[in-house]
Amino acid sequence: MSAGKIQGVPLGLAAAHSSTLVGLEARPIRVEVCCTRGPAFFQMVGLAQAAVRESRVRVASALARLGVLLDEYAITVNLAPADLKKSAAALDLALAAAALDAVGKLREGALDGVLLLGELSLDGALRPIRGVLPQLDGARGRGFTSAIVPDGNRAEAGLVSDLTIHVAASLADVVAHLEGTRPLAVVPRTRFSPEAAASAPDLAEVRGQETARRALEIVASGGHNLLMLGPPGSGKTLLARSLPTILPPLSYEEAIEATAIHSVAGLVEPERGIVARRPFRAPHHSVSDAGLVGGGDFPRPGEVSLAHHGVLFLDELPEFRRSALESLRQPLEDGAVCIVRARARAWFPARPVLVAAMNRCPCGNLGHPSRPCRCTQKARRGYLARLSGPLLDRIDVHVGLPPVEVDALVRGKPGECSESVRARVLVARERQHARVASGLVGATSNATLSSSELARVAPLDSESERLVAGAVDRLGLSARAFTKVVRVARTIADLEGSHAVRAPHIAEAIQSRIVDRDLSG
């Protein structure tokens, strides 16, 4: 705190450090408070939005519990930088601390090098906030040595290393710590142990549908996207919900990325503090564009980002609004969502396994052996026209599901269990990781191999080239679809333990695009 005089009136100046989020990026905020004796008023500048402007009421009430009445002072607050919008209540703690320093209630230098995050209640208690993990990670990169966060964010804060993090239950505890009379507890490291998918059906529950089961195994092994076409009741939803049970467990790095996204959205369980299992998101087809890919005045992650490193299941794909589906094209290709606003540019990672399911016509009976289709040709064309060619081109594996026979449901034996399939998936993933470790490629999954990497790890022999050329001519495959065929073939080869991609692998990968003809209307 520095002191001076303006026309004989004592002047107190103080500053505290906090941050706000733009996407996943933590932007530093310097909370400056000027306090004078005189006619009471409180003004705030620096593009503070409603949640921040209302902090005056929360801070004044919390300070009154400590015996400090702000109505005795003329207070001006500046949130720097002034051209950045501030929208979160996480600035409450920094504002309260700076106000206490400005009126001389804290020792000299108490706020130096300390990041303060927390929302205050009227009685001075600290409430947990969103986005603690990315904000603390950003503070570490800016040279802060310590931080104070609400006790409700303890587990999440424990994921950050190289930063001394204290937790507090109330403003009084923070003041006692800053004054050196009662130090706050230091957050211990949060332990990470990957978990299996919660309450997901085992693949053994799927009767029949061997082609779809094989497609699911390929998808899990290479991180590919999947489209399933079939009549109602053919098992599309059951297959999709079984996929997490055969995926590899989350690595620590993947868990940290997923946790950061869920933290910004306020979806991290406070007692756990980390996303320990692969996300499975299944939004309803009425979801908005912003709900699916992210957006808003203050950008928040959408379903495609919340499913990062997990599964995004879109059931009844043609029922989604076309604009929402088209907005998926860029995330599916780039693995990230970029949201641009007039004053901010935010990005979120978005690399889920997309699983989409749909019928072949509005009534669902087209191609059914016993139930006639009631749709007109115009209705069928209109139904399929809801899906654009460029979107379908970005889905690696297309598989058709026939109706499940009653005999298979009643007398059929259970299919292979998820544990057995997962063992093969893990072996295939290990082969991909070995190529990364050797420096041969940089992509961690076959689905994200670049063209140059694909040429190195999946060169085609003459027979394979002949098969691909014939498929391109016969099916009208685009250059992108051709690349996806080779990527899928590389995954099939990994499942079979083959170092090279052979003609049978290419043939099976091409078979996964045959359904394209069903979508031509």
Each residue's pLDDT tens digit, 244-278? 999 999 999 999 999 999 999 999 999 999 999 99
Residue 111's H or E segment, with its range, is none
At residue 417's C-alpha, the angle toward residues 414 and 422, to 5°, is: 155
Which of helix, strand or coil describes residue 190? coil
| Bigger pLDDT: 208 vs 514 | 208
Q: Poorest-confidence range of 22-31, 33-42, 73-82? A: 33-42
CB-based contacts of 113: which residues, under 8 Å, 6+ apart?
17, 144, 145, 146
C-alpha closest to that of 413 among 248, 206, 237, 255:
206
Q: What is the pTM of this model?
A: 0.92
For 116-176, give the DSSP string: E--EEPTTSBEEP-S-HHHHHHHHHHTT--EEEEEGGGHHHHTT--SSEEEEESBHHHHHH
Q: Is residue 118 part of a domain?
A: yes
Q: Is residue 139 over pLDDT 90?
A: yes
Q: What number is the average pLDDT over the span 308-317?
A: 97
How does residue 47 score in pLDDT terms, banded at 50, 70 and 90?
confident
Q: Is residue 368 over pLDDT 50?
A: yes
C-alpha closest to that of 184 among 193, 195, 173, 194:
173
Which residue, chain included where needed, has tokens 């290709």?
333
Question: How far, in Å, CA of 495 to CA of 103, rounded?
Answer: 68
Structure tokens at 4: 């001076």
Residue 415's H or E segment, with its range, is none
Q: In this structure, what CATH number is given to the domain that contains residue 98?
A: 3.30.230.10
C-alpha closest to that of 170 among 155, 149, 147, 188:
149
What is the DSSP secondary structure assignment for residue 48, as one 8-state letter?
B
Q: What number is the average pLDDT over the span 176-196?
A: 94
For 450-488, give the DSSP string: -HHHHHHH----HHHHHHHHHHHHHH---HHHHHHHHHH
At residue 132's C-alpha, the angle toward residues 131 and 138, to 5°, is: 95
Q: Is the peptide bond before 81 cis (omega within 30 degrees of 0)?
A: yes
Confidence at residue 197, expressed as pLDDT on a 0 to 100 scale: 79
Bridge partners, 290 (sequence order): none
Looking at the chain, the whole-number percentage of residues with pLDDT higher than 90 is 76
| Bigger pLDDT: 463 vs 370 | 463
Q: Is residue 6 over pLDDT 60?
A: no
Report yes or no: 118 and 173 within 8 Å, Cβ to Cβ: no
Q: Is residue 244 part of a domain?
A: no
Q: Is residue 468 over pLDDT 80?
A: yes
Each residue's pLDDT tens digit, 399-442? 999 887 766 666 667 789 999 999 999 999 999 999 999 999 99
Q: Is residue 119 part of a domain?
A: yes
Q: How many domains does the chain have?
A: 1
Each residue's pLDDT tens digit, 210-252? 999 999 999 999 999 999 999 998 899 999 999 999 999 999 9
Confidence at residue 486, expressed as pLDDT on a 0 to 100 scale: 96
φ/ψ of residue 427, rounded to 5: -65, -45
How does residue 514 score in pLDDT terms, banded at 50, 70 and 90?
confident
Q: Poorest-confidence range of 131-135, 285-289, 364-368? A: 364-368
Q: Is residue 397 part of a domain?
A: no
Q: Is residue 515 over pLDDT 70?
A: no
C-alpha closest to that of 184 among 110, 95, 272:
110
CA distances in angstroms from 84 to 48, 99, 113, 468, listed in the order given: 9, 22, 22, 52
Confidence at residue 3, expressed as pLDDT on a 0 to 100 scale: 47
Report yes or no: 303 and 314 within 8 Å, Cβ to Cβ: no
Confidence at residue 413, expressed as pLDDT on a 0 to 100 scale: 74
Q: Is residue 181 part of a domain?
A: yes
How does residue 473 score in pLDDT terms, banded at 50, 70 and 90?
confident
Bridge partners, 32 (sequence order): 15, 78
Q: Is residue 19 part of a domain?
A: yes
Which residue, chain included where needed, has tokens 């093969």?
424
Q: What number is the average pLDDT over the span 183-201?
A: 90
**Dihedral Cα 482, 485, 487, 489, nearest 10 deg:** -140
Confidence at residue 409, expressed as pLDDT on a 0 to 100 scale: 63
How does residue 141 score in pLDDT terms, banded at 50, 70 and 90?
confident
Q: Is residue 496 part of a domain?
A: no
How does residue 5 score in pLDDT terms, banded at 50, 70 and 90?
very low
CB-based contacts of 190: which residues, under 8 Å, 6+ apart?
155, 156, 158, 159, 273, 274
Confidence at residue 193, expressed as pLDDT on a 0 to 100 scale: 92
Residue 337's H or E segment, with its range, is strand 336-340
User: How many angstroms separate the first and last alpha carbons of the chain?
Assistant: 73
Confidence at residue 518, expressed as pLDDT on a 0 to 100 scale: 58
Which residue, chain included where needed, has tokens 């002047």?
11
Report yes or no: 335 and 293 within 8 Å, Cβ to Cβ: no
| Bigger pLDDT: 344 vs 160 | 160
Q: Where are the alpha helices (DSSP H) in 272-343?
A: 289-293, 303-306, 322-326, 329-334
Q: What number is the average pLDDT over the span 23-38?
A: 92
At residue 275's C-alpha, the angle toward residues 219 and 131, to 5°, is: 125
Q: What number is the average pLDDT over the span 339-347?
A: 82
Q: Is residue 344 part of a domain?
A: no
Q: Can you give the residue range of the structural domain that contains 71?
A: 2-186
Confidence at residue 88, expressed as pLDDT on a 0 to 100 scale: 83
Work out whether strand 164-168 and strand 146-150 pair parallel, antiparallel, or are unpaired.
parallel
Q: Counting every residue, how long is the chain?
A: 521
Confidence at residue 216, expressed as pLDDT on a 0 to 100 scale: 97
Q: Which of 2-11, 51-60, 89-98 has the highest mean pLDDT?
A: 89-98
Report yes or no: 87 and 49 within 8 Å, Cβ to Cβ: yes
